[in-house]
Chain A
Amino acid sequence: MRDQRWWTWHIAASAVILVFLGLHMVIMHLDAVIGIFNPHGGHPIEWANVVERARSGFFMVTYIVLLGAALFHGLYGLRTILFELNPAPALKRGLNAVLVLGGFGLFVLGTWAAWQSFVLATTQAVAHTL
């Protein structure tokens, strides 16, 4: 039953990813075709564009939501594939621990980066107006 619940979350996470990663891909990789959220023009990864997105509360929150959904979806998918190969019970427990700890560590790093760049970008914006 527990795995059935995780599977439902896996599918729910895919819906979140579809929306926010879809938006991320359009901003980053269809910029010449559609071109949104790059107010300074040029490439989407130019610092001015990065700062402009980082100072938006919407992007800060959705990056963190996307990060959590993508890590869960990806790592649970990997766990499903690995468990289909019938590892020994001890190996299963080890894999669970590695995936949970690794996923949590990357989530903390990504969340810190989203928050820190939000603070950095808003501080820069205030400094510009002074």
Chain B
Amino acid sequence: MLEYKGRPNRLGIWGWLGGGRWGAERYLYTLHRLTGLGLLAYLLMHILVTSARALGQQAWQQAMATVAGAIFTLGEYAVFVAFAFHAINGIRLVLIELGIGVGRPIEPVYPYRTSVNVQRPLAVGVMIVAAVLVVLGGLDFFVLK
């Protein structure tokens, strides 16, 4: 991570809310962080709750009974949606990190062109895949059971 000497990150987390000229990808970045934080919070609780299986059937069933009910089902679906988004958007971020899907480097000659438009089809594509997963999950959670 870069050290900011004399140039603090003045916007802080409020900077997440402003897309500015980065457009939709900036909001995907914000959503990626928010879903990441949500998934981390869930993971920490999940480790504690599911460790009950090591204590036998009764402890397991007791633990599962404490997290049963409509509110927990909705919460679990929210976790599934966050996972679908974070995982599929994460694939996009790794591809971009590796220089895939961002177009070839070009000379910075006026009028300048932005690579954001080159990346846009990838962003749209991964969001469609994430949406399909969200719908499949919704079917599983609320329709087929």
Q: Which residues of A contact B (CB under 8 A)?
A: 3, 7, 11, 14-15, 17-18, 21-22, 25, 29-33, 45, 47, 50, 54, 67, 70-71, 74-75, 77-78, 80-81, 83-86, 106, 109-110, 112-114, 116-117, 120
Contacts and interface: CB of A to CB of B under 8 A. Distances in A.
Contact of A25 (B61, B80, B145): B80
Contacts of A77: 33, 36, 40
B87 A86 contact: no
B94 interface: yes
A41 B65 CA distance: 19
B109 interface: no
A3 B83 CA distance: 26
A18 to B, nearest CB: 6
B90 interface: yes
* Dominant SS among interface residues on chain B: helix
Contacts of B54: 112-114, 116-117, 120
B4 interface: yes
Contact of B87 (A21, A30, A32, A71): A21
Contact of B137 (A30, A67, A110): A30
A112 B51 CA distance: 8
Nearest 10 pairs between A and B by C-beta? A116-B54, A32-B144, A113-B51, A74-B40, A113-B54, A117-B54, A117-B53, A32-B140, A3-B1, A110-B47
Contact of A30 (B56, B60, B140): B140
Most buried by A among B37, B44, B53, B91: B53
A83 B13 CA distance: 11
A109 B145 contact: no
